[in-house]
Structure 1
Amino acid sequence: MPLLQRWRQAISKMSSASPSRFAVLVFTSIIFLWSLLLTLPISSADGTPTRYLDALFTAVSTICVTGLSTVDMSTHWSPFGNVVIFLGIEVGAIGVLTLASILGSVVTRKLGLRQRLIAASDGNALRLHRGAVSESQAVRLGEIGGMLATVALSLIIIETIIALFILPVFWASDLVTHWWDAVSYSFYYSASAFTNTGFAPNPGGVPEFADNGWFLGCLAAATFLGSLGFPVLFSLVRWARDRSKRPGVHVKLTLAATLVLFVLGALTLWLLESGNSDTFGSRTPIEGLLGGSFLSVMARSGGFSTIDIDAMNDSSLLVLDALMFVGGGSASTAGGIKVTTLAVLFLAAVAEARGSSDLQLFRRRIPHDVLRLAIAVALWGAMVVGVSSILVMSLSGAGMREAIFDTISAFATVGLSTGLTESTTPAAQLVLAVTMWLGRVGTVTMAAAVASSERKQLYRLPEERIIVG
């Protein structure tokens, strides 16, 4: 048997036996490949090999679309290194299980049922459920091929449009001396915003454009679209083409929860920082509100900021912690436990307060296995953040304020930092790198594992209530 055919059979067998494990293997392999590319002398601006820890941290941050860094992203990397990072951002934005599905379809030369299930579970972990799964959701199983096309096309079309919108900003600025620099900066910022990464290619970063509402608005729009999730974008495009295919509960809940968190975050950040002269206190009320709105969007996983995060009040950092931990929509370029997870937990609390046995929304009943999945994801996220924060504090000597903020930023793949990430010890940086990896693949694989672990029992044990609360 030819070696290539054996390799294909081995990959096909692995993806069928454990899709989640196969996805993690693919994703992690890509990270290590990118880390090796970034260690090459050609990747650095001065032509010397980059320290492997810095290369690995950058690779993890790139493929996990986080935006945290241990080096100056605008000056450390050469044009070749920036191309590697740009491509890594695009690869990481696709998603863990979607990447595995694409690789599986390439190897087996077809998008079979197993590849469709893997890709579908990236947007809905209940697809790996052993029982029946309702087809009345954002993306049906038969539409996975179209959803994968939507992922690719949205990356190309949205990023190109945003790049063209912000191109005049760079042409009119003093930051570039050649037209190709303006083009490269525009596409770099556009990709970094839509994929919710937060890397900036120019020295000074986004604060250089703090007074340019057009530029900040374009970045915020790209970040917002990227945080909604590809299933939501696919469903909205499908609805725009055929009005009979109305968006489902998932789409409505994602949009509603996203808008509520955005408005509450913007108003809260503006009010809390209105008296801080180092942030929004020195601005007019309108400018302060716009600054709070921009930061509210970026806290959902964007990672850009026009102010010094470390100069913010403790109360404001706590609000940012909460926004970052929640993150964006499912199967999006954003991280966190996802807005629908928070919404389901909130609906459960409301139902319990009302004495209702069902979770109801938009004239639909939410199954209890969805609630179990939401609880598992939230607890997983809290556990990772708690353990990582303790390790960072013990390994670096950092205070709780900075350690918790940067740890949540790493877990939720946001990229905002108090400055701790770049200045902390190598051991703490390694912990943050692992936290980024867990934040990107952990919630997906945890959800998939819980959804696929249900086993039928022929008997039920006697019931006995315990005291809670």
Structure 2
Amino acid sequence: MVVVAFALAVLAGTALLMLPQARTEQVGAPFVVALFTSTSAVCVTGLVVVDTPSYWSTFGEVVILGLIQVGGFGIMTLASLLGLLVFRRLGLRSRLSAAAETKATGLGDVRTVVKGVVAISLLFEAVTAVLLTLRFAWGYDEEWGHAAYLGVFHSISAFNNAGFALYSDSLMGFVSDPWICLPIAFAVIAGGLGFPVWLELYRRFHPTWAWSMHTRMTLAATAVLLVLGTVFVTASEWDNPATLGALSTPDRLLAGFFQAVMPRTAGFNSLDYGQMHEGTLLGTVILMFIGGGSAGTAGGIKVTTFVLLFFAILAEVRGESDATAFGRRIDPRAVRQALTVALLAVGAVVASTLLVLQLAAVSTEDALFEVVSAFATVGLSTGITADLPTAAHLVLVVLMFVGRLGPITLVSALAMRDRSHLHRLPEGRPLIG
């Protein structure tokens, strides 16, 4: 149901974007362009094959904004909300679907979770929109109506980790403006933590020892990755005259932090990734692949998957029988699920990179960057997206769709396939390493 619902949303968005009213030239967009843009919006990615502000009309931009919001909420979450509003109840099928998408702990908790998802989304989007609107109006002399439109669009795009911008160079024109960069960055972080974390923090902010392993793991990993990412990007690009080298020291620190936040699957950029060092691009690929928190607007394999594998490796190196974290023993089944998700993601990225290299005359690092950006629903690019052939665009469309739904449906399916056997086969022990 989740897969079909997202597919229908993509097709509906494609049809709307193919209308003449959606383009500034009043001519319907080609099917592949509309499909790519719709998929990128619904899957909250941000990759584009055309320049958003000049190619799409205001109607087209509003359609894209609506698709971002629908994709960020989640199709099943939105359907469940409508069911609550219209019928004031949820059937078993709706509760099962919403629980799978929002990672609700129980069927009785679905109503609370759905309402919480909507409340959290609207709260962060509203606060960010107000801050951006004031800055656009007072700092850049935009009329209040247009400033509000810019604020709302970028706030929704930021919290939902979509990365669509109404400027041709994304946010490069605001690289030195903390009143634009910081609200957008914090909205991205908030959306990337995941709704289960925010709901738990709302219910019991204190004491911290009562937090679940998932919340502790997500917050700790997010903080570590943000700090390490900021240090890495800033140090790597410090003397690059095409990126940080031309900025003052405070502006370098701001831009370094902003570029460390965006690979968490947001897609905005205040620096030109096409001018960055290859080492910086590789580090960004790693950050994109890890992604953000589960059951939120972020993509990637998720930080919990990455941290679970880290603690599993640590336990194996130490010779311990159980993997532990934050004073708790990790369920071996969760470790197997994390390993499955990570290996399938690696397989999808490697196969797609090879395919793109066969279809387009691009370098390996550019192809890898583009593929990981699509699979992890990030939206960052070195500038090759529009120049790729149609076949490569379709590969990225599939990757964005799989990246948005694959981890969700895969983990849900694995969680529901807990089968027991009345016998166990004789043990074998192949040599490892």
Normalising by structure 1, what TM-score? 0.88
Alignment size in residue pairs: 433
Distance 1:338 1:28 in 2: 22
Deviation of 1:59 after TM superposition, in Å, equals 0.3
Distance 1:367 1:112 in 2: 31
Deviation of 1:283 after TM superposition, in Å, equals 2.5
For 2:133, the aligned partner's letter is L
**1:341 alignment partner in structure 2:** 305
Instruction: Provide Cα deviations, 1:218-277, integer angstroms capped at 9, x if missing partner.
Output: 00010000000011111111114x869932111011000001011111101111111211
Distance 2:170 2:242 in 1: 18
Which of 321, 324, 329 is the equivalent residue of 1:365?
329
Secondary structure of 2:324 counterpart: strand
Secondary structure of 2:282 counterpart: helix
Distance 1:173 1:433 in 2: 38
Distance 1:458 1:249 in 2: 32
For 1:205, the aligned partner's letter is S
Instruction: Indicate if the aligned counterparts of 2:294 and 2:302 stay in contact, CA closer than 8 A.
Output: yes
Deviation of 1:123 after TM superposition, in Å, equals 4.1
The change in CA–CA distance for 1:175 and 1:433 in structure 2 (over 3 A counts) is: farther
**2:320 alignment partner in structure 1:** 356
**Correspondence list, 1:67-466, <5 A:** 67-95=46-74, 97-99=76-78, 110-124=89-103, 139-174=105-140, 176=142, 178-240=143-205, 246-466=210-430
Distance 2:144 2:15 in 1: 31
For 2:255, the aligned partner's letter is G
Farther-moved stretch of structure 1 (286-295 vs 390-399): 286-295
For 2:61, the aligned partner's letter is N
Distance 2:129 2:248 in 1: 29
Distance 2:141 2:98 in 1: 41
Instruction: Provide Cα deviations, 1:353-386, integer angstroms capped at 9, x if missing partner.
Output: 1111112122211101100110111011111111
Normalising by structure 2, what TM-score? 0.95
**1:66 alignment partner in structure 2:** 45
Distance 1:56 1:274 in 2: 39
Instruction: Indicate if the aligned counterparts of 2:176 and 2:251 stay in contact, CA closer than 8 A.
Output: no
Secondary structure of 2:54 counterpart: coil
For 1:42, the aligned partner's letter is Q
**2:29 alignment partner in structure 1:** 50
Deviation of 1:207 after TM superposition, in Å, equals 1.2
Distance 1:113 1:48 in 2: 45
Instruction: Indicate if the aligned counterparts of 2:80 and 2:114 stay in contact, CA closer than 8 A.
Output: no
Distance 2:351 2:93 in 1: 35
Distance 2:320 2:93 in 1: 38
Instruction: Provide Cα deviations, 1:94-123, integer angstroms capped at 9, x if missing partner.
Output: 235535655777898732444333322224
Gaps of 5+ in 1: 1-21, 128-138
Instruction: Indicate if the aligned counterparts of 2:176 and 2:254 stay in contact, CA closer than 8 A.
Output: no
Instruction: Provide Cα deviations, 1:143-172, integer angstroms capped at 9, x if missing partner.
Output: 221111111112211111111111122113
Deviation of 1:44 after TM superposition, in Å, equals 0.9
Distance 1:89 1:315 in 2: 31
Distance 2:229 2:203 in 1: 30
Distance 1:344 1:231 in 2: 17
Instruction: Provide Cα deviations, 1:312-358, integer angstroms capped at 9, x if missing partner.
Output: 00000000000000000001101000000000000001111111111
Deviation of 1:210 after TM superposition, in Å, equals 1.3
Instruction: Indicate if the aligned counterparts of 1:66 and 1:415 stay in contact, CA closer than 8 A.
Output: yes
For 1:162, the aligned partner's letter is T
The change in CA–CA distance for 1:315 and 1:45 in structure 2 (over 3 A counts) is: same
Instruction: Indicate if the aligned counterparts of 1:238 and 1:245 stay in contact, CA closer than 8 A.
Output: no
Farther-moved stretch of structure 1 (83-92 vs 281-290): 281-290
Instruction: Indicate if the aligned counterparts of 2:172 and 2:272 stay in contact, CA closer than 8 A.
Output: no
